[in-house]
């Protein structure tokens, strides 16, 4: 699920593309200090996950895609949504891995009440619910896939204050796509990222896919 503010552009990024690697990451100044800096960002993520997880993640084709938001965005405070509307499970889940390449200018934010936020920052609501609670609250939760402004207003009132992350260029943020999240809007500039979805299956396997 994505709002009209987000575009998926260009050719799919491939972890085996040396041309893409040179465009996305500068050459290391000291190879001995940065042995993996010549890897595509998704290949670097795969390497890190392999060191932390019993089985290395599988890369689908394509494993990721570039995503662009251009100001002025439609949703000034951000579009609250989930990418997977389903009950949370300890044995499986879908996570969004976002590598930030550029952010909009700090001065490009919309005027808003409350504490200031950097334009393009990420809001996450750590919503937790059992399978029974999920079905009991289905009408409300279904608004997490709606583009209706009135639904967005209700969501902000009922969900309360989010946790805000202000990613810098080069940062990686991994979030559970079953939890509500939104990107703070901005008046001008671009927010460019590489996005891959990390699937965790009941058998423990991991897959990175666009």
Return d(Cα 194, Cα 97) in angstroms, integer: 8
Q: How many residues does the chain have?
A: 210
pLDDT number for residue 131: 86
Mean pLDDT of 68-89: 93
Kindly provide the residue ranges of all beta strands, DSSP E only, lying in the chain, ordered along the sequence: 6-8, 58-59, 65-70, 93-102, 122-124, 163-165, 172-176, 181-183, 190-200, 206-209
pLDDT number for residue 3: 57
Which of 4-8, 45-49, 159-163 has the least mean pLDDT? 4-8
Q: How far is CA 56 from CA 19, 45, 48, 65, in A?
A: 25, 11, 9, 21
Would you say residue 129 has pLDDT above 50?
A: yes
Which of 1-10, 48-57, 100-109, 151-160 has the least mean pLDDT? 1-10
pLDDT number for residue 80: 97
Domain spans, the chain? 6-12+55-209
- 111-126 residue pLDDT tens: 877 767 899 999 999 9
Left if phi > 0, otherwise alpha if psi is -120 to 50, otherwise beta: which for 67? Answer: beta
How many C-beta neighbours within 10 Å does residue 83 have? Answer: 18
């Amino acid at each position: 699920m994505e709002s009209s503010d987000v575009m998926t552009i260009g050719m799919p990024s491939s972890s085996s593309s040396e041309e893409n690697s040179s465009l996305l990451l500068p050459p290391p100044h000291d190879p001995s200090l940065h042995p993996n800096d010549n890897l595509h960002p998704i290949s670097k993520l795969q390497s890190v996950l392999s060191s932390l997880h019993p089985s290395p993640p599988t890369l689908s084709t394509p494993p990721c895609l570039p995503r662009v938001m251009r100001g002025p965005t439609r949703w000034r405070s951000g579009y609250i949504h989930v990418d997977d509307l389903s009950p949370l499970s300890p044995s499986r889940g879908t996570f969004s891995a976002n590598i930030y390449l550029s952010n909009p200018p700090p001065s490009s934010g919309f005027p808003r009440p409350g504490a200031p936020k950097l334009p393009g920052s990420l809001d996450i609501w750590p919503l937790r619910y059992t399978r029974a609670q999920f079905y009991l609250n289905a009408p409300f939760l279904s608004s997490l896939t709606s583009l209706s402004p009135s639904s967005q207003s209700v969501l902000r009132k009922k969900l309360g204050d989010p946790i805000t992350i202000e990613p810098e260029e080069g940062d990686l943020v991994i979030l559970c796509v079953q939890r509500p999240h939104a990107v703070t809007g901005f008046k001008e500039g671009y927010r460019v990222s590489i996005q891959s979805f990390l699937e965790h299956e009941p058998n423990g396997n991991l897959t990175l896919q666009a």
